[in-house]
Amino acid sequence: MTKITYLCSAFLLFAGIIGYANTAANYTDPQLLRIDFTMPNGYVRHLAIGFTPDNAASDGYDYGYDALNVDNFPDDLNWLIENERYVIQGVGAFDDTKTYPLGLFLTNSGNIKISFDKLENFDNPIDVFVYDAYLETYTRINDADYASHMSHGDYTDRFFIAFKDNSENNIAKSSLSTPEAFLENTRIQYLSNSKEVYINTTGPNSIKKITIYNLNGQQVYTLNNLQNQDFRITIPNLKHTYGIVSVESDAGYIASKQIVIN
């Protein structure tokens, strides 16, 4: 099926919205999260949420920051603000403990997807989850879409965008100091924009040592005697396309990942 993308009219106004906000004193660029919704017919709706570091916007309606949905699609996904449907939402400073409700409106039953598109103006990556309140599940969409077959109807209190997995199993796992928990809770990622390796771990353990190898097993970088849970590394001497990053915790647990340098 040919995939047709809806460029919703609100996005054509986005530059104007930001321009309006830019007239305010002490304006700072919002941090943007963009997500996509794939309808049962394969069409795609773009959504964005902007976090204002200076708390210029709120979780409620804010003139100049929120864009009302003016389209009439038979199947759609929107931000819900005070029981109204929006395609762009402006809120306060990013807070990973908050969740933001989505309204799913389906005239047709079928397969739907909620996908991560990109981040803008974030110094570090963030986790993005779709929380399904009916199933009590958290799906991390940074690398894999939330996909489901849905019956027609309106779903206004089921789906949320979240930034932490608050399921009971995950909370219990994050509190444990075990090799499996350290492996699961450690993220290793290459940031192509800043040419850095980003390492983050949650739970009780901290990062003690970082070692980077080329694919021949030769050590090209090492950093020891650390006590961090969040680290960024610039490695200008790594000339290979691929590398292997090994992270050791203060308890001696190891997590490693192959990365692509570009």
Question: Tens digit of pLDDT for each residue in 128-170?
Answer: 999 999 888 899 999 889 999 999 999 999 999 999 988 766 6
- pTM > 0.75: no
The mean predicted confidence, pLDDT, of the chain is 84
Gap between the Cα atoms of 17 and 163, Å rounded: 25
Q: Which fold has domain 177-260?
A: Immunoglobulin-like (2.60.40)
91 burial (CB, 10 Å; 0-12 / 13-18 / 19+) is: buried
Q: What are 88-118's pLDDT values in tens digits?
A: 999 999 999 999 999 999 999 999 999 999 9
Q: Where are the domains of the chain?
A: 5-166, 177-260
**23 vs 192 pLDDT, higher one:** 192
Terminal-residue alpha carbon distance, the chain = 32
Which residues, other chains included, contact 109 with Cβ-Cβ below 8 Å and sequence gap of 6+? 40, 149, 150, 151, 152
Instruction: Give strand pairing partners of 61.
Output: none
